[in-house]
Amino acid sequence: MFKRFRVTLGALSLAMAATAAQAAEVNLYTTREPALIRPLLERFTQQTGTTVNTVFVQGGLAERMAAEGTRSAADVAMVVDIGNLMELVDKNLSQPVQSAVLEGAIPANLRGPDGRWFALSTRARAIYVSRDRVPEADAAKLTYEDLADPRFKGRVCIRSGQHPYNTALFAGLLVQHGEAWLRDYLTRLKANLARRAAGGDREVARDIMAGLCDVGVANTYYAGLMLAGRGGEEQVRWGQAIRVVLPSGGTAINVSGAVVARHAPNRAEAVKLLEFLVSPEAQALYAEANFEYPVRPDAPLNTIVAGFGTLRVAGTSLPEIAAQRALASRIVDEVGFDR
């Protein structure tokens, strides 16, 4: 009788283990549009059998996770922008991860030294110039600093100075040059605007094509999307009207990234998901699907993005930029940049 019970118990344990394996899952909280990352998540499930339960959080992700506390279902939190990534760390909503896979794939400047955050892709803040009105030789020498030069009076287009893309750019310049310099720079840059700082990055290309401005600031992946026809034939023409310039003094980058949540109920699966997202296959998908720069140095670029030239990243560290965003935002308001 006792022997029979042991056999039954062993069979039950095997059945429970099989059921657990079949039911493996990971819960992803993300601010990224689900359609952009769906191919990556589907491939992860195909390879591992692990179901990814995606919760799209348009705003307030850190606040939601903090409010949920130990009851939070989040295993991985994925965000865009270094400020949002560091917020998760600063609010103690992430946990340290030691992974030879992650450390081997991601350069040290794109991950936390304690394993509390990891960049998964990067995007470059470039200068768009008119192909017709800005000579290629002149464009190749441009820096962000040059855009405040009097020669560009009435020739610059840019989206709101308070948009996270620009706040990060200005914070990087603040780290490099100081508070007084940034205040003067933004005052002079505003004086060069062809229109109020507003709209989006694609509209910078649109307005350059229309002759409203000759130069502007925008992310490289928008040019990729336009040139690939992702926005329709009209936007193809916008993309063809511009030349994408990676500033000669170094290009500001931002990141999409992720953390393993502090109270992750499926920690092992969370780490596996991050490791998959930096695999050669996933990094190639990032490059092709979203026209972003992979974090893996050995990953191929999309051919359109490769055509923009060699990316030389500005030396300012991402955590330093995140730490100066609030001050940069305040200076944007003080000089009335968006008015």
| Tens-place pLDDT, residues 245-294 | 999 999 999 999 999 999 999 999 999 999 999 999 999 999 998 899 99
Cβ neighbours of residue 284 closer than 8 Å, sequence gap 6 or more: 294, 299, 300
| Tens-place pLDDT, residues 45-81 | 999 999 999 999 988 999 999 999 999 999 999 999 9
For residue 18, pLDDT beyond 50: no
- Looking up tokens 């600063």, which residue turns up? 90
| Tens-place pLDDT, residues 93-123 | 999 999 999 999 999 999 999 999 999 999 9
Residue 6: what pLDDT? 39
For residue 11, pLDDT beyond 70: no
Domains and CATH numbers, the chain: 2-122+253-301 (3.40.190.10), 124-252+309-334 (3.40.190.10)
Residue 35: what pLDDT? 83
For residue 21, pLDDT beyond 70: no
Residue 5: what pLDDT? 31
Q: What is the 3-state secondary structure (H, E, C) of the chain?
A: CHHHHHHHHHHHHHHHHHHHHHCCEEEEEECCCHHHHHHHHHHHHHHHCCEEEEEECCCCHHHHHHHHHHHCCCCEEEEECHHHHHHHHHCCCECCCCCHHHHHHCCHHHECCCCCCEEEEEEEEEEEEECCCCCHHHHCCCCCHHHHCHHHCCCEECCCCCCHHHHHHHHHHHHHHCHHHHHHHHHHHHHCECCCCCCCHHHHHHHHHCCCCCEEEEEHHHHHHHHCCCCCHHHHHHHHCEEEECCCCCEEEEEEEEEEECCCCCHHHHHHHHHHHCCHHHHHHHHHHHCCEECCCCCCCCHHHHCCCCCCECCCCHHHHHHCHHHHHHHHHHCCCCC
pTM of the model: 0.90
